[in-house]
Amino acid sequence: MAARLAHLWGPDRRNGDSESSNHDSELVHRCLQGDSQSYRLLYRRYQAQVRSTLYQLCGPSHLDDLVQDVFLRAWKGLPKFRRSAKFSTWLYRITCNVASDQRRQLAKQNQLSLNVDLLSVSENTSDLMQLHYQDLVHRGLEQLSWEQRTVLVLHDLEDVPQKEIAQVLQIPVGTVKSRLFHGRAAMRKFLEAQGVQL
């Protein structure tokens, strides 16, 4: 299922290799010494991933503000960043916290609306089919519990390894696996009910 979903959301965007990690550590070190250009580089490296994760968890409403909030919190929190941790894991944690805060705020206002923006629909049939499947996946994600949805988005759509998800969400790897299993099962059931053959 991950392969089927991955083609909908583009190429693998992982930055988990040790070279990226070392480069991130150097950039963080320079940021802490007052080099704002290094933070711009970190922003450019992770902005698409943060945006994609927030879109999957919160929908298109207020997306720019949420992305800005993640990077503002990261900037302010850099002095507290444990250099032994991966920057990407720490940033995903902040992203999940911002998404969770947004979810709570919307629930309080009774305005939870996760509609897919279809303003730029092309007449090309394959593009329409892709939009249709993206809409189905998005609606399927809405049906999942917050916990399952978060794990499924991070693992299957953002290609974050299970061990890193456990660190981001501060839960055991076994819990990640369980949520992933049950989330995939629920997604499969939803998609099959919509006529998608898996």
Alpha carbon 11 to chain centroid, angstroms: 14
Does residue 151 fall inside a structural domain? yes
Residue 121 is assigned to a structural domain of this protein: no
Query: Has residue 118 been placed in a domain?
Result: no
100 alpha-carbon distance from chain centroid: 12
- Range of the structural domain that residue 12 is part of: 1-110+128-194
pLDDT tens track for 11-32: 334 444 556 666 888 999 999 9
The H-or-E segment that residue 92 falls in is helix 87-109
The pLDDT tens digits for 53-70 are 999 888 888 899 999 999
pLDDT tens across 132-189, in order?
677 788 888 889 999 999 999 899 888 899 999 999 999 999 999 999 999 999 988 9
Query: Tell me, what CATH number does 21's domain have?
Result: 1.10.1740.10
| Number of independent structural domains in the chain | 1
Predicted confidence (pLDDT) at residue 108 exceeds the cutoff of 70: no
**Does residue 57 belong to any structural domain of this protein?**
yes
CB atoms within 10 A of CB 12: 8
Query: Is residue 60 in a domain?
Result: yes
| 120 within some domain | no
Which pLDDT value is given to residue 87? 92
CA distances from 8 to 2, 57, 136 (A): 10, 16, 11
pLDDT computed for residue 39 by the predictor: 92
Full DSSP string of 97-146: HHHHHHHHHHHHHT--------TT--S-HHHHHHHHHHHHHHHHHHHS-H
